[in-house]
Amino acid sequence: MKCTICKKPAVIKLRHANLKLCPEHLVARVEKVVAETIKKFRMFTPEERVLVAVSGGKDSLALWGILNKLGYRADGVYLDLGIAGYSGRSREFSEGFAAAHGLKLLVVRVEEELGAGIDGLVKVARGKACSLCGTVKRYLLNRVAYEGGYDVLLTGHNLDDEAATLLGNTLCWEEGYLARQHPVLPGEGKLVRRAKPLVFLSEREVAAYCVISGIAYIYEECPHAAGARSITLKRVLNELEDRYPGTKLGFLRGFLKVRERFTPPEPVELRDCPSCGMPTASEGLCRFCRLKERITRHALRVTEDHGAPA
């Protein structure tokens, strides 16, 4: 197999793009796609301050590395979620990458902010781990970005993630979610702009990029993800992609062309949470503060049941 561009030995075949690429041209392609996506969707400019949500996985580390190669001013933020057997390792990869590249990484421990990590939270609060974790992540990442004065918060969602979310939203005709699914969401007040520069790159391309560039990342998935609907959606899309190369990219690109036909939900008036001051659609405390309250109440009950310390 030869590289379509230079005829040297190719290491990857991208059927959806009709390309076979050598290491050098795979790296060049990935970086070019990211640079073009940032410009096309006007995600941010070189003058703006960028914060990357870093998980220790291939996508976020590749994104962070590429941004710095492209000359953007990008810091990272790592949320230590408090998930046994996963958080410690993912933190090591994130800190290792930051140290090796001389980049600034902010580390936030969920347990310190919430009173418990995700493992503790799922024992106390109703709801699935991933959805509770999603609430906590969205809130903390936004708050860190806002308080740090960053212009934009980036996540490493790739084409496989985005196509799976799109399929999930389409199967239920979640019109509000469809209207809000976009590579960049503008900021408003204390809600910082969010963007996903990897959405046109497949998981395989990003993984190959990391291997070729020597980026060490955590392979394990979060243990709470086992059985998640998103995994089934990805599997179905992979089967389709195998038979019909280009399915995922066509699905996402096609959607972005018709997206404006979906009606966004009526804008809700946001107020400041009386406890933390961050925006919320609810009358009282924001969802994060309500979870925090539940954990505090639970901890108090446990202390009472076991007798207050002398």
Residue 11 lies near ligand FES (rule: CB under 6 A): no
Residue 130 lies near ligand FES (rule: CB under 6 A): yes
Instruction: Pick out residues in 2-21 that bind Zn ion (CB under 5 A).
Output: 3, 5-6
Q: Which does 193 bind (CB under 5 to 8 A by kind): ligand FES, Zn ion, none?
A: none
Strand pairing category for 193-195 and 152-154: parallel
* Smallest distance, ligand FES to C-beta of residue 218, A: 11
* Smallest distance, ligand FES to C-beta of residue 94, A: 13
Task: List the one residue out of 185, 223, 221 whose CA is nearest residue 203.
Answer: 221
Q: In a 3-state reduction of DSSP, which class is residue 257?
A: helix
Tokens of 293: 């309250």
- Going across the sheet that includes 105-109, the strands are 105-109, 73-80, 49-54, 152-154, 193-195, 184-185
CB-nearer residue toward ligand FES: 143 or 224: 224
Q: DSSP letter at 19?
A: E
Helix axis angle, 203-213 relative to 23-40, nearest 10°?
120
* Smallest distance, ligand FES to C-beta of residue 63, A: 17
Residue 116 lies near ligand FES (rule: CB under 6 A): no
Number of H helices, E strands in the chain: 12, 10
Instruction: Pick out residues in 238-277 that bind Zn ion (CB under 5 A).
Output: 273, 275-276
Instruction: Pick out residues in 208-267 that bind ligand FES (CB under 6 A).
Output: 222, 224-225
Q: Which residues contact ligand FES by CB under 6 A?
A: 81, 118, 129-130, 133, 222, 224-225
Residues that bind Zn ion in the complex, under the rule CB under 5 A: 3, 5-6, 22, 25, 273, 275-276, 286, 289
